[in-house]
Amino acid sequence: MKDRYEWTSEEIVYERLESHLIPVPELANGGYEGLSEESKIDKLKKDFDAFISLRAELVMKAVQLLANGHQLSISQLFNDNELKNNS
């Protein structure tokens, strides 16, 4: 992702990813350095499952809001999701 910052700012990259309902912290999760191959595979699977689960929540919430005639606000979707995850 850092390659994208050469032609634009980190903020714009984050905004664009979030506009596609992509949770950036989960996408950018690292910490694979120094792990054995087996540990990397285990961590990658856990990280991917967390990413997919959160993205599915965001997509379903967006669908429900739109289906109920509400205006879609990306920042509200992410803020509501953060509150839910932190409680």
Q: How many domains are there within the chain?
A: 1
Note the pLDDT tens digit of each residue in 34-81.
999 999 999 999 999 999 999 999 999 999 989 999 988 888 888 875
3 or 68, greater pLDDT: 68
Tokens encoding 21: 């309902």
Give the whole-angstrom CA distance, residue 6 versus residue 82. 29
Task: Determine the distance from the C-alpha atom of residue 37 to the mean position of all C-alpha atoms in its chain, rounded to a whole number.
Answer: 25
Model pTM? Answer: 0.74
Other CB atoms within a 10 A radius of the CB of residue 21 amount to 20
Please give the span between the terminal C-alpha atoms of the chain, in angstroms, as a whole number. 29
3 state DSSP class of 66: helix
Residue-wise DSSP of 8-40: S-HHHHHHHHHHTT--HHHHT----TT--HHHH
